[in-house]
Structure 1
């Protein structure tokens, strides 16, 4: 009888424990509730320049740049950003609605990272902008995509009459009737050795000169206007596509890595075209630059040859 009584008591205890568990009693763990997001959330996307693991800026020489490890002073650093999307947990690209201000309109934002510090950078204090601001629908976001460039519908407007941020004379590109999408200029110590070979003479002759600045100007090429409609068209769009699959705008910023961008470039020598790369399809100095941008130099179209590593996500 004792054995049967003990078994009955044990069964009763087990049943009671199961009942408590089913009712959320002591020891139970409630399933975590899904996060609740507002209908609209503000978003701020921060940018800076990166060199040798730290922030690059005017007035401080940057060492170890390019294929020859050149030291150079920053002269200019600005770029237009458009078609900005955050990427949600399902991989869907969700457009960022830009907040209009002096640095951005509803379609494009100008990032300007030159503060005027130092002789090379102008020597006069300049306003800067390192952030894009806007709103997105409330949700969890894990990445970002955007374009370095001005939308075609805005690119050929007259900068002299355009509203901000498209009214910047330094970003206008007169011979292509558009804008410089990205403008990076460096003054290498010792200057740029400009070498030109004339193959029309027998024997061929070579001349050399020195330029102070290595210019990188990214913009559309092969642009012409329709004599009847006045509309522009360009054979080479040259808009850089950027996608960072892992980016948290609340904790991270986006850095333009100068070491990665100029890794294949000799900043001390120039052999064709203007000193540096101005998006010319036959400019030898543009080959390494466009490869870093993942833009096909002959056509101006994005390439599928790997993922760009020029823009990187870093902790704020």
Structure 2
């Protein structure tokens, strides 16, 4: 059976679920990095921690996925991300460092996520920090951007760094907060089949004006109960998501993750900008 040009065109404008593409609207979500109440800047010096110390940052990047808008009835509606250098159709990377001063990452930043969602009235949004399990244990060398960045992968853990914060204080250089899945099981073929600690916190902002509000990512929250001048002996400097590293406890609490048998408290890392 042959289809006419107009029949083919009609098929192209109809989505896989039978809905017209005209029913979709482009949406953007803006993010801003802050350190407490101050804007995040490469080269900035911030008094942080308990006890307080001057901290500078060298990197601040994270992945998010499962972005959804919440409609007036409380229903979560998935957002299909627009593919680009910083986004697949499922995963986006937020990059707050610009490669200047102490920051040694890429020059371009990425603070706005764009996608498409069915037209409607939305009053909130939600998303998960990290990379979905189905994509977390692939090969970065063959993955699409932004999952092809080797500096955001853990070769020794066969997974991605969901969050990368590199910092330092006058007394402790090389503080690293790298969040990722741990205690992963590998089968006889070398494939990861499950992880006991997925470490993908979910963020829900229920009172959020999609058109006007901004999502703040407060890296200062990770240091509120952290001593930036000390590190537990025989552990990585900072927190590399090791479930046996006590330095991770206050950081996981700020991220809204359980740690060492303690239930997850409400996260303080991400919020709606005041």
- TM-score band, normalised by the shorter chain? 0.7 to 0.9
CA contact (8 A) 1:85 1:93 kept: yes
The correspondence for 2:237, drawn from 266, 270, 275, is: 275
Q: Residue 227 and residue 150 in structure 1: after superposition, are their counterparts in 2 closer, same or farther (change >3 A)? A: same
SS in 1 for 2:140: coil
Question: How many residues of Structure 1 are paired with residues of Structure 2 in the alignment?
Answer: 252
Q: Residue 185 and residue 213 in structure 1: after superposition, are their counterparts in 2 closer, same or farther (change >3 A)? A: same
- For residues 258 and 172 of structure 1, what CA distance do their matches in structure 2 show? 20
How far is the alpha carbon of 1:304 from its aligned partner?
Answer: 5.3
Please show how residues 41-60 of structure 1 align to structure 2 within 5 Å: 41-60=25-44
- For residues 221 and 192 of structure 2, what CA distance do their matches in structure 1 show? 37
| Equivalence for 2:272 | 313
Are 2:167 and 1:183 equivalent residues in the alignment? no
| Equivalence for 1:39 | 23
CA contact (8 A) 1:156 1:232 kept: no
| Equivalence for 1:3 | none
Please show how residues 46-195 of structure 1 align to structure 2 within 5 Å: 46-62=30-46, 64-118=47-101, 120-122=102-104, 126-188=107-169, 190-192=170-172
Q: Residue 283 and residue 95 in structure 1: after superposition, are their counterparts in 2 closer, same or farther (change >3 A)? A: same
Which runs of 4 or more aligned residues in structure 1 lie more than 2 Å from their structure 2 counterparts after TM superposition?
Answer: 228-233, 258-261
Larger Rg: 1
| Equivalence for 1:292 | 254
Q: Residue 285 and residue 314 in structure 1: after superposition, are their counterparts in 2 closer, same or farther (change >3 A)? A: same
TM-score by length of 1: 0.76
SS in 2 for 1:309: coil
How far is the alpha carbon of 1:160 from its aligned partner?
Answer: 1.4
Are 2:193 and 1:232 equivalent residues in the alignment? yes
How far is the alpha carbon of 1:84 from its aligned partner?
Answer: 0.6
TM-score by length of 2: 0.87
CA contact (8 A) 2:69 2:125 kept: yes
- For residues 116 and 229 of structure 1, what CA distance do their matches in structure 2 show? 35
Q: Residue 39 and residue 156 in structure 1: after superposition, are their counterparts in 2 closer, same or farther (change >3 A)? A: same
RMSD over equivalenced CA pairs, Å: 1.8
Q: What do residues 161-208 of structure 1 show as CA deviations (whole Å, max 9, x unaligned)?
A: 2111100011010121000000011121x131xxxxxxxxxxxxxxxx
SS in 2 for 1:297: coil
CA contact (8 A) 2:27 2:115 kept: yes
- For residues 241 and 131 of structure 2, what CA distance do their matches in structure 1 show? 15
| Equivalence for 2:10 | none
Gaps of 5+ in 1: 1-37, 193-211
- For residues 304 and 58 of structure 1, what CA distance do their matches in structure 2 show? 31
